[in-house]
Structure 1
Amino acid sequence: MSLNSDALRLFLAVVDAGTMSAAAEMLGQTASGVSRGLSRLEEDLGVTLLTRTTRRMELTEEGALFLQKARGIVASLEEAEECMRMVHQQPAGRLRVDASAPVMLHCVVPHVAEFRRAYPAITLELTSNDRIVDLMEHRSDVALRAGPLTDSTLHARPLRPAPRWLLASPDYIARRGEPKDVDELLQHELLGFTQPESLNVWPLRHAGGSSFAITPTLATSSGETQYQLALRGVGIACLSDFMVRDELADGRLVKVMEHAYTDYLQPLNAVYYRNTQLSRRIACFLDFIAARM
């Protein structure tokens, strides 16, 4: 039996992509070529790694065990390659960055072209998830997360925190009027989150304290969806400042109940595992993004 890193990477691509055709697209191969490669790997190992039907694939017990080992081997190979590149002081290799859609679109995407010019040897992979994901499960090297952190196994680098504003379109205010206090606010269309509930606590000063828990009349899983709904006059949303600077400047959105704002700043952190050595490509990405935020 003779295994090589290409066979391991092919297996990981099939598992992560979920289908032969998606893995083939990821690897730049044909679906039939990927299928043959996986079959050869199973023959070399003498086990079935994946049960395959016309609709889906599932890991066998042996496949799940091999997956864990294969990820570790490929990660070690990439780390060895990274060490060799570090000798020449050239940050290079694949960098997987995960963030919620608003953070990705408003904090990362505007700077990607400049980053690529500065570090052409780094291959970026950008993914968006509006829920907190497991970095290992999603094969992410670093994630940008808004809000308080709860996972103590992660190392965090604080980035610039942002205030959250209550916002609506001028059209909505013209139709419904501006609420003057939290009692009037409850009579309005409130755009909130399906989860986590902590994002439905708005930073508002009132008789009961400096925060106010709302019950959304329309709930979404994405801040970007709320942003689009607010622009279209559907209701009032509580959004991070980095999402709406241009819209506030040109009047497409206006602040609501500004007299009740607090000095709350929503944390924004870049996180990665404590038990992994910070590679040069992660370090240069964090330095680059921090400087621009």
Structure 2
Amino acid sequence: MDNRTGEIEAFLRSVDAGSFAAAAQQLRQTPSAVSRSVGRLEARLGVRLLQRSTRALTLTPEGEAYQRRAQAILHDLDELEASFTADRAEPRGRLRLNMSAPFGLHRVLPVLPEFLERYPKVTVDVSLNDALVNLVDERTDIAIRHGPLRDSSLRARKLGSSRWIVAAAPCYLERRGTPNKPDDLDAHNCLNFNFRRSIEGWSFRVAGALQQRSVSGNFLGSSGEALRVMAVSGAGIVRLAHFLVGADIAAGRLVPILGSCHDGDTEDIHALYLGQGRPSARVRAMLDFLVERASVTE
């Protein structure tokens, strides 16, 4: 690794770790060596990238801009080297995987021990987050996304499609009545997400045409799992993927409603990853595993 690449790595590790000492542990260097590497980088660029204090390191505006570009450059370098070694390399190293909490809890985490046993030299770093993240900014290798694909710079492997289900607990329907058409939802408590999604509103088929309908209620949650728990407890009506609420419906904890109005309302699920060349061995191994063990067909 040449001096410039080493300085960039020292800078990025220091930002991630929050201190030169923590970065030094990861890089197997001394804290002073890491600090000098970052100092040389700043001197060459002629700008301050990090504000130092006794408590923490803080990015300057110039540091934030440099971090984004540097992450992309190192990722491209990894992709370039991986393209020459992927076919013969054993999967190894850290793999950062980002996905929604419901998909992670219900589809991936239950089978992930099989991947770890199959590839013992890979460390899987999982983040569960229903909101969208930038793969470069978050240094994510694979992100599982639901809905339409909008970023053409990302490559994708399809994991299937899941039906949307509108449902409520029996106790809620006994208390508030069962809606028979989408307009009836105006008189009901609809539980929704507290962040912007790729498609706003709930989809219903009215007179043969698919329409987006706004709903309202007194609870907003940051994940589908939070909405599922509230619905099972009788708080209101939810619209969630079948893979998340299928077990609750089978057990009678939730009752599907308005089924004839949203028949065919599905959402594609993809595993997205960066790069134009051949992905690294660990990324390819995880993509193949997700297709094999975490695909959705309901």
- State the TM bucket, normalised to the shorter chain: 0.7 to 0.9
Counting only pairs closer than 5 Å after superposition, residues 1-293 of structure 1 correspond to structure 2 as 3=3, 8-17=8-17, 19-20=18-19, 24=22, 34=31, 36-45=32-41, 47=43, 48-53=48-53, 54=55, 57-59=58-60, 61=62, 64-65=65-66, 68-69=69-70, 72-73=73-74, 76=77, 80=81, 83-84=84-85, 86-87=87-88, 89-196=89-196, 199-207=199-207, 209-217=209-217, 218-292=219-293, 293=295
Contact 2:71 2:139 in 1 (8 A): no
SS where residue 210 of structure 1 aligns? strand
Deviations 1:129-163 (A, max 9, x none): 32222111111111110011111111222111000
Q: Among all aligned residue pairs of Structure 1 and Structure 2, give the percentage whose two residues are the same amino acid.
A: 32
The SS at the match of 2:209 is coil
Residues 26 and 154 of structure 1: CA distance in aligned 2, closer, same or farther (over 3 Å): farther
CA contact (8 A) 1:92 1:281 kept: yes
Contact 1:7 1:37 in 2 (8 A): no
Question: 244-253 vs 202-211, which deviates more?
Answer: 202-211
1:92 is displaced (CA, Å) by 1.9
Q: What is the number of equivalent residue pairs in this alignment? A: 286
- C-alpha separation in 2, matches of 1:234 and 1:85: 50
CA contact (8 A) 1:192 1:199 kept: no
TM-score scaled by length of structure 2: 0.81
Gaps of at least 5 residues in structure 2 are: none
Retained in 2: the 8 A contact 1:147–1:267?
A: yes
Matched AA of 1:68? R
Native 8 Å contact 1:82 1:92 kept in 2:
no
Could you tell me the TM-score, scaled by structure 1's length?
0.82
Equivalent-residue separation in structure 2 for 1:287 and 1:67 (angstroms): 29
The CA distance in 2 between the partners of 1:119 and 1:285, in whole Å, is 10
CA contact (8 A) 1:206 1:260 kept: yes
Deviation at 1:240? 0.4
- CA RMSD in angstroms, aligned pairs only: 3.2
Once residues 27 and 230 of structure 1 are traced to their aligned partners in structure 2, the CA distance between those partners, rounded to angstroms, is 46
CA contact (8 A) 2:23 2:34 kept: no
Q: Which letter does structure 1 place at the counterpart of 2:165?
A: W
**CA-CA distance at 1:105 after TM superposition:** 1.8
1:278–1:78 CA distance, 2 compared to 1 (3 A): closer
Distance 1:69 1:20 in 2: 18
Q: What letter corresponds to residue 206 of structure 2 in structure 1? A: H
From the superposition, tell whether residues 63 and 180 of structure 1 become closer, same or farther in structure 2 (CA, over 3 Å): closer
CA distance, structure 2, for counterparts of residue 274 and residue 8 of structure 1:
20
Q: Structure 1: give runs of 5+ residues left out of the alignment.
A: none
Query: Which secondary structure state, in structure 2, belongs to the residue aligned with residue 271 of structure 1?
Result: strand
What SS does structure 2 have at the residue aligned with 1:124? strand
Residues 204 and 210 of structure 1 are in contact (CA less than 8 Å); yes or no, is this contact kept in structure 2? Answer: yes
Q: Hey, what's the Cα distance between the residues in 1 that align with 2:63 and 2:191?
A: 46
The residue type paired with residue 12 of structure 1 is L
Q: Which amino acid aligns with 1:122?
A: V
Q: Secondary structure at the match of 2:113?
A: helix
* Matches of 2:96 and 2:128, distance apart in 1: 11
1:194 shift after superposition: 3.5
Which amino acid in structure 2 is aligned with residue 94 of structure 1? R
Q: With CA pairs under 8 Å and 6+ residues apart, which has the higher RCO, 1 or 2?
A: 2
Q: 1:266 is paired with a residue of what secondary structure?
A: strand
More divergent stretch after superposition (127-136 vs 197-206): 197-206
User: Alpha carbons of 1:268 and 1:73: their partners in 2 closer, same or farther (altered >3 Å)?
Assistant: closer
Q: 2:215 and 2:170 mapped to 1: Cα distance?
A: 23
The answer (yes or no) to whether the contact 2:8–2:41 under 8 Å persists in 1 is no
Q: Secondary structure of the residue that 2:155 maps to in structure 1?
A: strand
